[in-house]
Structures are given as C-alpha cells and as structure tokens.
Amino acid sequence: MTDTRGPQARSDEGYAAGPLPGEREKPASGPSQPYHPPQAYPTPQNGSQGGQQRIGGQASAAARRQPRTGARTTPRTRKARLRVAKADPWSVMKVSFLLSIALGVCTVVAAAVLWMVMDAMGVFSSVGGTISEATGSNESNGFDLQSFLSLPRVLIFTSVIAVIDVVLATALATLGAFIYNLSAGFVGGIELTLAEDE
C-alpha cells in the first residue's frame, strides 16, 4: 500500500509527522478575523432571499390576474332521492297522541275566547230574547238560550269533544302506520327527493 498523504517521510519508529498543533507558527498577519462559515446559497445582490422573491412574484402575478368572465356564480344544488320504507307504529302513536292533546287544548281555549267575545257583543242576549218570545206562552217564558249556552256548559262540551278527538286521532294515526307498512312492502314506499344548497 502506498502512502498518499504528501511529502511526509516514514521513519523506523512510525510516521514522521509535522509540528504539533501547539507548535505551529501563527501567521504574521494583523489581528485575527472572526470565523465566517461558508454559505450554502449565495445571497442575492438586492438582499432578499430566493423564497421571498418567489412569494413576491406569485403575489404580483395574482394581483395582475384578471377574473374570469365565464365563471359560474350560481350555487350548485345537490339532490338525494330517498324512500320511506317503514314507519314505526309506536313512534307514530306517541307523536299523534301529543299532537292531538295540543289540538284539544287549543280547541278548548278557542271555544272559551269565542264565547266571551260573543257574550261581550250581546249575541246571546239578543238571540235568546228572540227565541224566548217565539217559544213563550202565557204559562211559560219559553226557551232560555243564555242559561243553556252558559260558559261552564260550553267548556264541558268542548272538553268532551277534545278527549274524543285525542283518542280517535291517536288510533287512526297508529292504524295508518300499520296500513302504510303493509302497502310499502308491496310497492316500496313513498319516494322523496331532498335537495341541499352548497
């Protein structure tokens, strides 16, 4: 194997090395300068880095870019076609029961408000007087409409109608759910098209 390390001579006891690091002569130049590591990428003359130049170039290109005139501005609508294959009778019964109760309460309140408005307008007194004169005789005063259509009687009658409505509406809705499930097994159910705007 050849020695390729330069003009150093080989001695019998080992390699004849040069002076040790502490014995090297220091250059006779002026004061020592600070160490500057080599730069991997040279700095441009205008002082900006290459990335900044690229970013600035992209920004200027985007600023010079003109908007397209043929671009679509209307939003696109996504549509989905679904089918109601089955209606749960238990959930239908619960929902119909609550809705019928709400409808019954609204019916009772509406009847009470209507009776008070008609009584304030004097409808019962005028109509009742006419009916009592038409049905009256010497022995009796005729039919008393005001006592028959009193507020407690009207509220009781309306409450009975509301309870009947709750029972019938719940039963009919549950029966309708069973009938729908049977018919959906044959024809596939009701198809719905749902649209979503983006």
Proportion of the chain above pLDDT 90, given as a percent: 29
Per residue in 54-97, pLDDT tens? 544 555 555 565 555 555 566 677 888 888 888 999 999 999 99
Backbone dihedral region for residue 188 (phi beyond 0: left; psi -120 to 50: alpha; all else: beta)? left
Q: Which two tokens stand for residue 13?
A: 């006891």
Helix (H) or strand (E) holding 52: helix 50-64
- Spell 102-129 as b/e; 16+ CB within 10 A means b: eebeeebeebeeebeeeeeeeebeeebe
| Mean pLDDT, rounded, of the chain | 74
Q: Would the pLDDT of 174 be above 70?
A: yes
Backbone dihedral region for residue 142 (phi beyond 0: left; psi -120 to 50: alpha; all else: beta)? left
- The predicted pLDDT at position 123 comes to 81
